[in-house]
Structure 1
Amino acid sequence: MVCKFNESVLDEVADKLVDRGYVCIDDLFDSELVTGLRQKVFSQADVTFKPACIGRGHEQHRNTDVRRDSIRWLEPGCTTDNGYLSLMDSLKDGLNRRLFMGLFDYESHYALYRPGAFYKKHVDALKGSQNRILTTVFFMNPDWQASHGGFLNLYDEQDNLLENIAPQAGRLVIFLSERFPHEVLPTTVDRASIAGWFRVAGSQHGI
């Protein structure tokens, strides 16, 4: 099972982050890993997944007008989770070598959108906060069709639509957390993904 990025892919990711601040790449991950990640979502969806909240710390609360997905945090030590986390670790090291970003810590959760679920437009980090530097979104949805909805819309800082990204299996989206508002459009079928964020040393968790 492949558990790291090759150098040419890391070069491509680094170049596109410098040029435009985001990148979308397909079919990087071993199909066995993608299948295992998807199976974990649906085998535990009704047991360990919890409705997602907004806000941070003691101010966290559920708001179904903003988002309606359910989540489960990835856990180091779980074989399936470790396959994905190893890939993200190699991404961190590769980008630090190329761009000197100082990426230090990574957190991520599974996200399950049942039919009708969405996540309205938001930004993952406040300007200058450095609590989240780089966002990753990985999709696990085979045979996705336009009629299924669930697109990830990525906007620039002037609120212009940059990309309308279908959540097809094996696709990884990476973007600078402070720069790009984004949203998940309502889905008509079950939609599974992993959302993650790289931080720098000394930044705060749970924001």
Structure 2
Amino acid sequence: MSSITVATWEQLASAFYQHGWVWLPHFLSPALIAALCDDLQQQQLRSAGVGRQQDHLQNQQIRRDQTAWLDGSSSAQQDYLQLMQQLQQAFNQRFFLGLFDYECHYARYQQGDFYQKHLDAFRGRSNRVLTTVTYLNTPESGGELVLYDEQDQLLQRLPPAAGGLILFESERFPHEVLPATSERLSIAGWFRRNNSLQGMVDPGT
């Protein structure tokens, strides 16, 4: 089981406080990367859609990746989800974000697959607070995640590198995945607040 070291946490917290996003190139251990890649190969990935709940639909003009949600059904998934729970607790303690839970899915981009520029949350319309992208392999080229600032200007281009973590504010930074030239494997996730109604917990996607 991996854990967040004090040095890693301080690096995360400092960068996030200054910029609202952070890139950690060696967030996952090689052992956990290998276990997650093995687990991903056992999943039935399906063509991804856009939108949530009743607005969810497939549109290959917007995105072409395949996904499978993590549900904790394997030891690799449990280790990854526990690691993200540590991150959730740390951010709540330091920044008082009120993060309630975490949802995530495997994402596989094959040659030519992409995801057009979008926001993961819109102000006042979503409970997604922080977005995470964790890379599980290192393609030779292509598949970069590109971040834009609030004025829609290029901020950073982040090539996939196995074990790296990108974390950013969901409603603040537009982003896209450039076309893959070879297989690109990752876990995309979101820390959420609870938008509850009459005491009922808001469900994930």
Instruction: Normalising by structure 2, report the TM-score.
Output: 0.92
Query: What is the RMSD computed on CA atoms of the aligned residues?
Result: 1.4
Alpha-carbon distance change, 119 to 205 in structure 1, aligned in 2, over 3 angstroms: farther
Of residues 147, 151, 154, the one that matches 1:154 is 147
* Structure 2 residue 53 is the aligned partner of structure 1 residue 57: yes
Question: Which one-letter code corresponds to 1:162 in the other structure?
Answer: L
Q: 1:55-134 maps to which residues of 2 (within 5 A)?
A: 55-134=51-130
Question: Which one-letter code corresponds to 2:12 in the other structure?
Answer: V
Determine helix, strand or coil for the equivalent of 1:32.
Answer: helix
Q: 2-side partners of 1:114 and 1:41: how far apart?
A: 14
Partner residue of 1:21? Answer: 20
Determine helix, strand or coil for the equivalent of 2:100.
Answer: strand
Question: Which one-letter code corresponds to 1:53 in the other structure?
Answer: G
Q: 1:166-181 maps to which residues of 2 (within 5 A)?
A: 166-181=159-174
Question: Aligned pairs, how many?
Answer: 200
Partner residue of 2:199? Answer: none
Instruction: Normalising by structure 1, report the TM-score.
Output: 0.92
Of residues 170, 183, 201, the one that matches 1:190 is 183
Q: 1-side partners of 2:129 and 2:27: how far apart?
A: 22
The unaligned stretches of length 5 or more in structure 1 are none
Q: 1-side partners of 2:46 and 2:173: how far apart?
A: 26
Q: 2-side partners of 1:163 and 1:199: how far apart?
A: 24
